Structures are given as C-alpha cells and as structure tokens.
Amino acid sequence: MLGGPAELLRDFWYLALPGIALARGMTRRVTVLDEPVLIGRAADGDVFALRDICPHRGIPLSYGTFDGSEVSCCYHGWRFATDGRCTAIPSLMPDQTVHLDRIGVAAYPCREVQGNIWVFVADKERAADAPPPEPPRVPLPDNAVPQVAIDSVFPCGVDDTAYGLMDPTHAAFVHTSWWWKKDARRLRPKEKRFEPAPLGWRMARHRLSAEHRMYRVLGGVPTTEIVYSLPGVRIEHIEAGRHAAVSLTALTPVTARETVVHQSLYWTPRWLAPFRPVVRALARRFLGQDRDVVVKQQEGLAHGPRLMLVDDADTQAKWFAQVKAEWLRARADGRPFENPVKPRTLRWHS
C-alpha cells in the first residue's frame, strides 16, 4: 500500500555497490534489508560480504581494519577470514583452548557481475547449502562495465519508490528543464504492448519516439525493450544499428521506509566515453527529480488518504503489487509462482 512500510523480500540479490567503488584491500559498510553488511575486496580482487557485527562483543567490524585477507575487530583484535571464519583471538594464552572452527561471522553470497557488486539475502527457510540463483544481468557481454554509475537514497519504502520510477505519465510534469519538455501541455498519445516476464513483465520492443532522437548517435533507428522484475529491477535495452545502450535500475531496501536507487548506464560506442561527465550530470538530475517528487508525495501519504489508480496509466503499479503479493503467497503455500500479468496493450498520454 502506498505510504506504508514496505514488506521486504528475501531470497533475492540486491545491488550493494558499483564495483568501481571498492578497491582491493578496501571495505565498505552498507545496510540491506535492515541488516548491517560489510562489503570488501580481497587482495586477489575477489569480493565478499559479512554481517557487520563481531560475535564477541557486538561491535561493527567496519570500525576495524582489513589487510586484504582478514578483517580485524577494533575492540579486541579478533580476526576473521573473508568467508567469516574466526582465525585468531589475540587474548588467548597458550594453554587456553577455544575451538576457532566453531566461531564465525555470517557470510552472504556476494558476486561482482558486469561491474556491479550484488549481495544475496537468503530467507531463513533456505537450507545453508542451497545455492542461490544467478544475479541479474544486462543483455551485454560478461565483461561489460557501467560507463556511469550513480545512486540516490529515497526516504520511503521500496514499493513507493518502485511505483514512482515505473510511472509512465509523470515525465512531462516532473522531468522538465528549460531545455527539455518544458511545456507539459504538449502531451502525446502512447501505446505500448506488454507481456509477462520472469517475476515481472516486459514492455515489448518498439521504436523510440521522436523526443528520444538523441539515441540516434548510436547509429540507425533506435528501438527499446524494458523489463521489470522482482524485487525491484528495471532493465532498458536500446539498440540502434550495431550499437546498444542499457540502463539498469536496481532498488535496494535499506529499511522498510528507506530505499537506495542504483542506476548503471552502459553503452557500446567507445567514442562516447568523453561524454561520461555530461551523462552522469543528466542522470543525477533525472534521478533527483524522481526523488524530489516522491519526497513531496510522502507528505500527503503520511495522512493515509484514499487513493485512486486508473487504467491504463497506473496498470504497471498494480502489476508490481500483484506480482509481489503472488510471490509472497506462493512462498507461504510452498507452490510455484504463477505470474498474474497477462499480455496487454496499454495506452496513455505523456
């Protein structure tokens, strides 16, 4: 429900950091689904994730040090390997026996995929030896890395954040500048075909309208396909001639009332590299406009108003709620997920 605390979904991968933000021998503290997580990159380049709490006295391990292979607690110097195993307790005397193999910090599955670091937050029901699914990928080679990576903290739950970002009709009123869509009265009719996709839905590939002519720099006539999926991942794949541009938006709940929005932008033409600062500035402006309007919305939602969603403009918001509810029901019932989304053409003005 809009305005309320979001129900957080476990057993999913969540984007924690862009890979470029974590050098070798470095650690970063993040919060994912209300859990403190220490993300690190070992000296060999591998990434890892540990629960950011020392099992001895409970102090966050992020206050300690990392030498590239072991994390050392700042309080009493207990050391932990990157898989969470305790390797040393400095206070022990030679004749004092403690089974270090029985002491450890919880470790999260952690993968770096196409330049992004993902953490898997398992459900308590998942068996410890059950392998997680594959992290999300964009339709580019495995060695692809974002040309631009930004993030923003939205002071609202993941559901409100998702509804705002997938809204197809707000752009003419929210994403405006003196040089871009400055006249909200000039709305154009839109008609898009949608179909089910794994844990979500897909806007079928179509030609971009004239207002997106900037993508012609890729060469050829640009077409796009957009896929939305749980727990809050949006991938837009634009093709034009032999080149492509991809936008990955991933929502990572910090708490039930705070969400980090990560955006990673990829493109294949190498000659566009000098334009990264411009693209980064534009992306930050657009994401900032989304954040600003959602912040304003929270003022009204705090009063618990009755709301009205309309077809077809708000259908995707309805789908998100329905897909999430069905996933939760299927988990509770111990049955396979059945996608409630059916093929449909939606029409609106924007």
- Residues 68-79 pLDDT 10s: 999 999 999 999
Name which of 105, 97, 96 is nearest 78 in CA terms: 105
Name which of 46, 13, 19 is nearest 119 in CA terms: 13
The answer to whether 330 and 336 are in contact (CB under 8 A) is yes
pLDDT at 169 over 60: yes
- In this prediction, residues 212-223 reach a mean pLDDT of 68
Q: What is the predicted pLDDT for the residue at 171?
A: 85
- In this prediction, residues 94-116 reach a mean pLDDT of 93
| 127 vs 329: CA distance, rounded Å | 20
Q: What is the predicted pLDDT for the residue at 183?
A: 59
Q: What is the predicted pLDDT for the residue at 128?
A: 64
Residue 165 sits at the vertex; the CA angle it makes with 35 and 185, to the nearest 5 degrees, is 155
Tell me the pLDDT band of 101, cut-offs 50, 70 and 90: confident
- In this prediction, residues 43-70 reach a mean pLDDT of 97
Tell me the pLDDT band of 6, cut-offs 50, 70 and 90: confident
Residue 14 sits at the vertex; the CA angle it makes with 194 and 341, to the nearest 5 degrees, is 20
Q: Mean pLDDT of all residues in the chain?
A: 92
The proportion of the chain whose per-residue pLDDT surpasses 90, expressed as a percent, equals 77
Q: What is the predicted pLDDT for the residue at 210?
A: 54
Q: Provide the CB-side half-sphere exposure for 68 (13 A, CA).
A: 6
- In this prediction, residues 228-239 reach a mean pLDDT of 96
pLDDT at 261 over 90: yes
pLDDT at 116 over 80: yes
Tell me the pLDDT band of 182, cut-offs 50, 70 and 90: low
